[in-house]
């Protein structure tokens, strides 16, 4: 998936659902009923490992026209192993995946990016994380991660809604990139706050997946986006 295909989903909404646990109403029902409001679905490793490749592949193939699908494998390994992982991501039918930025380019992210391009997968690099401990080590390197990954033409980043200064930094340093931002809802950031700081999409997990009335949650989120002018009226 390329940048413009990804952005075509932004017309619908800036919302990506993070699925790490089985949604309270079941994944099929959730995706069936959320298709008019949600742009993308990010499957986490716990969900992928628990359900297996075949199940993920069949979910993605059923909803492939309704959402883009991100494999949140947080890849942080040598190029050879990265390449094996990316083949599996492609087999499952994903459009995009997430790799860590701290592993550096040579024989790691350079190979990962080459492979992603060859398989038409969009690469998001983690530039900073949302939890407090990220400040201890990882987030000290955000600037270098952006500088280095721009050398290999990375166009997608993950940056925290809980610490919007990193979203702003990416915007300043890499204005044409697509930032997806977790931390909204369960981790405390307000709906719309990451978008207001320059993210293209917000990632929301537990606030939706753990709810018995997730479609109402989603509608509330969408109405906040609408009230802030972040989404066009239906
Ligand atoms: P929740 O809304 O339930 O907190 O989920 C957030 C999602 O974003 C999880 O899938 C998590 O793996 C991911 N995420 C995060 O929370 N912080 C980061 O810095 C990077 C992430 O990918």
Q: Quick one: which atom of ligand 1 is closest to the CA of 128?
A: 19
Indicate which atom in ligand 1 lies nearest the CA of residue 209: 3
Could you read off the pLDDT tens digit of each residue along the chain, which spans 234 residues?
Answer: 999 999 999 999 999 999 999 999 999 999 999 999 999 999 999 999 999 999 999 999 999 999 999 999 999 999 999 999 999 999 999 999 999 999 999 999 999 999 999 999 999 999 999 999 999 999 999 999 999 999 999 999 999 999 999 999 999 999 999 999 999 999 999 999 999 999 999 999 999 999 999 999 999 999 999 999 999 765
Bridge partners for 178 per DSSP:
156
Report the candidate in 148, 86, 141 with the shortest Cα–Cα distance to residue 112.
Answer: 86
Give the range of the structural domain holding residue 95, as residue numbers without chain letter.
3-212
Asked about 111 being catalytic, the answer comes back as no
Amino acid 212: pLDDT: 96
SS3 label, residue 72:
strand
Q: How far is the CA of 183 from the centre of ligand 1 (A)?
A: 6
| Residues 179-213: tens digit of each pLDDT | 999 999 999 999 999 999 999 999 999 999 999 99
Bridge partners of residue 174, in order along the sequence: none
In a domain, 232, yes or no: no
Task: Identify each DSSP E strand in 76-230 by its residue range.
Answer: 96-100, 122-126, 156-158, 178-182, 201-204
- Total structural domains in the chain? 1
Q: Is 220 domain-assigned? A: no
**Distance between CA atoms of 205 and 212, rounded to whole angstroms?**
13
Kindly provide the b/e burial profile for residues 145-164, where b requires at least 16 CB atoms within 10 angstroms of the residue's own CB.
bbebbeebebbbbbbbbbbb
> What does the H/E/C string look like for 203-225?
EECHHHHCCCCHHHHHHHHHHHH
pLDDT (0 to 100) of residue 232: 76
Of the residues 12, 42, 50, 74, which is catalytic? Answer: 74
**Which CATH number belongs to the domain containing residue 68 in this structure?**
3.20.20.70
Residue 81 forms part of a structural domain:
yes
Q: pTM for the whole thing?
A: 0.97
Residue 34 in domain: yes
Residue 231, in any domain of the structure: no
Neighbours of 14 (CB within 10 A): 25
């Amino acid at each position: 998936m390329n940048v413009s295909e990804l952005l075509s989903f932004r017309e619908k909404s800036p919302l990506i659902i993070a699925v790490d646990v089985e949604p309270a109403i079941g994944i099929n029902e959730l995706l069936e009923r959320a298709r008019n409001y949600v742009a993308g679905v990010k499957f986490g490793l716990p969900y992928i490992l628990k359900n297996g490749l075949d199940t993920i592949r069949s979910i993605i193939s059923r909803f492939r026209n309704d959402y883009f699908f991100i494999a949140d494998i947080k890849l942080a390994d040598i190029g050879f192993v990265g390449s094996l992982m990316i083949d599996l991501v492609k087999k499952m039918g994903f459009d995009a995946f997430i790799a860590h930025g701290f592993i550096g380019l040579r024989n790691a992210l350079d190979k990962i990016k080459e492979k992603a391009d060859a398989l038409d997968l969009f690469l998001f690099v983690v530039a900073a994380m949302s939890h407090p401990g990220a400040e201890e080590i990882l987030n000290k390197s955000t600037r270098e991660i952006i500088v280095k990954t721009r050398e290999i033409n990375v166009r997608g980043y993950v940056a925290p809604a809980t610490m919007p200064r990193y979203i702003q930094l990416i915007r300043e340093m890499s204005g044409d990139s697509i930032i997806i931002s977790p931390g909204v809802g369960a981790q405390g950031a307000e709906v719309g706050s990451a978008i207001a700081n320059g993210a293209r999409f917000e990632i929301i997990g537990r606030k939706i997946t753990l709810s018995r009335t997730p479609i109402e949650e989603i509608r509330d989120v969408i109405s906040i986006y609408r009230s802030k002018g972040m989404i066009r009226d239906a």
